[in-house]
Structure 1
Amino acid sequence: MKSFNQINIQSLRLFVAVLEQGNFSEVARREAMSPSTVSRVIAQLEQALQTQLLYRNTRAVSPTESGKLLAEHARQVLAQLDLAEQDLQEQSSEPGGLVRINAPVVFGQRHIAPWLPELNTRFPRLNIELMQTDDFIDPLQDSVDLLIRIGVMADSTLQARTLGHQNFRLAASPTYLARAGIPATPDDLSNHSCLVFKGFAGSQRWYFRHPEKEWRSWNLRGALTSNNAETLTQAAIGGMGLVVFPTWLIGDALRAGTLVSVLPEYQVSTSPEPQTISALYPNARRASVKVRVVIDYLVEKFGLPAYWE
């Protein structure tokens, strides 16, 4: 009967190493052992499992079908043990080092920068480099540890953690609505000044729908088009027209009453697909502890639902 009780972690590590190197000699050199000792450990492993694991010849070794199966499971076991060891080491040490963060300009100003002093107090050994841009960033080429992205999440080679959902409102100032009237349906917007964001992909389209119904899109124009969301927000507050922006951007203005939600019975967006605010990091086995504590901190501070809703 096969017995796993006689198998130890070191023998599994040596077995996997032999498969990766293709011979006993190189493994013996790296482990400061004799080739005969490595060969004996593998033979004891075969004896314990009562099956042949390797085909041996004078130049190299190769796995049998049983060897391939054991190697697959052994790699998983060893990977989990390595993670456990890493967690134990990290638990006993304070996170530190440089964390390079890239975030959209306005979101970074409003919802990341204000939380950095407390983050510094909590983790004084962390050094934060916050770069803010609305341009496309490749974290691998631009040496970014943590990328904050907002919008429709596409397939990516990056790992992602959702920080919040992007919810939109159609809004205008009380002054504008008193002057121009309150639209009753999205069709009425053609008679209004619509302040539209224009980015690298062109002018935004505005989508509306009643709950559980299909999205419909409108191409609208007004007195101002801009590639800066803050500029358009201030123009709307000043009475220049209507805007469609996320609650993280205009939530304060809505609560203060300088902007008023319009067509609240409709759902509104700039895309028919769900949009999120996400923290992305390179597709490693797991994020480093310094990156994880920053993500956990942002999740804690943003809340669920997010505090700006």
Structure 2
Amino acid sequence: MEAFNQLSIKSLRLLVAILEHGSFSEVARREGMSPSTVSRTIQQMELLLQTQLLYRNTRAVVATEAGQLLGVHARRIMEQLEEAAEGLQEKESDPRGRVRINAPVVFGQRHIAPWLYQLSERFPHLQIELMQTDDFIDPLQDATDLLIRIGAMSDSTLQARTLAQQQFRLVASPAYLQRHGTPADPQALSQHSCLVFKGFAGSQRWFFRQGDQAWQAYSFRGPLTGNNAETLTQAAIDGMGFALFPTWLVGEALHQGRLVSVLADYQVSNSLEPQTISAVYPNSRRLSKKVRTVIDFLVEKYGEPAYWDQGMA
């Protein structure tokens, strides 16, 4: 305990930065320090704690188990200090500071990136750090203020605000339908080309139902299976077959007439669970003014229903 009491905020902040960037030289450049000073600070921490915090080699710096554990607590300390500073600043009317956002790759490209200029214009003192990945991100471990998550929400350690309901459409291009005809029911899709998304859990099933009837699951095959939704959407636009995707992905092509909604009298989905597009943040963390500002901005821009769903039957 005595050794921990001697750790400085500066040394903890450097450790967190090294864990984020994986490089002494990069952290030194960002902090305006020499790499030797950064390395010496970490060595002093290791001597004080009598344990190795980092593995060093010529290609990267990787945390030991002890380094990872200390990094988790150091991030929490940095966040608490940042929250305290924000609390003092929030008497000012203008939100300010860095907001670290994590979003799925394609959704971020389609529905976050186009709004960043307006967000910056309206709130010039905000600094947005947008990381786009389809990997699972734990905000408690990865120093993220705000996650955009798509799907069913079940994590009780997180709070969420719904940005939009996720709706699905079965789509095909006008050219494909002209060549091959329009199916009358889901069973008829087995006679058509279907473009199926395949993720870590395998090929997605497509679910259909009418009215209050039970959902029916179908597994289809076709000329293209893949793990990139944009590629499969483009293939559908090009006339390769049917695709089943959320409206935030295919809505623009539907509005432009490049795709047509098929079997519109059926509800369609790729899951039996209701799905939302949500802004998510940890239960344990106070929602700061800057993060609340970003969430409110996205809610305003997306609208109700979301703009990609407006004008659809």
Query: Does the TM-score normalized on the shorter chain lie above 0.5?
Result: yes
1:162 aligns with 2:185: no
Displacement after TM superposition at 1:155 (Å): 3.0
For 2:213, the equivalent position in structure 1 comes to: 213
For 2:187, the equivalent position in structure 1 comes to: 187
For 1:138, the equivalent position in structure 2 comes to: 138
For 1:153, the equivalent position in structure 2 comes to: 153
What amino acid is the match of 2:111? H
What amino acid is the match of 2:273? E
Paired residues for 1:200-239 under 5 Å: 200-239=200-239
| Helix, strand or coil at the partner of 1:294 | helix
For 1:172, the equivalent position in structure 2 comes to: 172
Counterpart Cα distance in 2 of 1:171 and 1:232? 11
**C-alpha deviations, 1:153-181, integer Å up to 9, x for none?**
12330110000000000000011111121
Displacement after TM superposition at 1:136 (Å): 0.9
For 1:7, the equivalent position in structure 2 comes to: none
Displacement after TM superposition at 1:93 (Å): 3.8
For 1:109, the equivalent position in structure 2 comes to: 109
Contact 2:150 2:275 in 1 (8 A): yes
**C-alpha deviations, 1:120-168, integer Å up to 9, x for none?**
0111111111111111111111111100000111233011000000000
Displacement after TM superposition at 1:202 (Å): 1.6
| Helix, strand or coil at the partner of 2:90 | helix
Displacement after TM superposition at 1:279 (Å): 0.4
| Helix, strand or coil at the partner of 2:261 | strand
Counterpart Cα distance in 2 of 1:238 and 1:276? 29
For 2:272, the equivalent position in structure 1 comes to: 272
What amino acid is the match of 2:221? R
Q: Percentage identity across aligned positions?
A: 71
For 2:118, the equivalent position in structure 1 comes to: 118
Counterpart Cα distance in 2 of 1:91 and 1:199? 47
Structure label with greater radius of gyration: 1
Number of positions where the alignment pairs a residue of Structure 1 with one of Structure 2: 224
Unaligned runs of 5+ residues in structure 1 are 1-85
For 1:128, the equivalent position in structure 2 comes to: 128
For 1:247, the equivalent position in structure 2 comes to: 247
Using structure 2 for the length normalisation, give the TM-score.
Answer: 0.69
What amino acid is the match of 1:111? H
| Helix, strand or coil at the partner of 1:178 | helix
- Cα RMSD over matched residues? 1.4
What amino acid is the match of 2:215? W
Displacement after TM superposition at 1:284 (Å): 2.8
For 1:302, the equivalent position in structure 2 comes to: 302
What amino acid is the match of 1:116? L
| Helix, strand or coil at the partner of 2:139 | coil
Counterpart Cα distance in 2 of 1:245 and 1:161? 23
Q: Alpha carbons of 1:87 and 1:303: their partners in 2 closer, same or farther (altered >3 Å)? A: farther
Contact 2:157 2:284 in 1 (8 A): no
What amino acid is the match of 2:166? Q
For 1:257, the equivalent position in structure 2 comes to: 257
For 1:26, the equivalent position in structure 2 comes to: none
Counterpart Cα distance in 2 of 1:249 and 1:285? 31
For 2:54, the equivalent position in structure 1 comes to: none
Displacement after TM superposition at 1:283 (Å): 1.1
Counterpart Cα distance in 2 of 1:222 and 1:293? 45
Displacement after TM superposition at 1:92 (Å): 2.6
Counterpart Cα distance in 1 of 2:139 and 2:182? 44
Counterpart Cα distance in 2 of 1:144 and 1:286? 13
Counterpart Cα distance in 1 of 2:88 and 2:131? 32
Displacement after TM superposition at 1:88 (Å): 9.4
**C-alpha deviations, 1:50-102, integer Å up to 9, x for none?**
xxxxxxxxxxxxxxxxxxxxxxxxxxxxxxxxxxxx98962434211111101
| Helix, strand or coil at the partner of 1:197 | strand
Displacement after TM superposition at 1:201 (Å): 1.8
For 2:99, the equivalent position in structure 1 comes to: 99
Using structure 1 for the length normalisation, give the TM-score.
Answer: 0.70
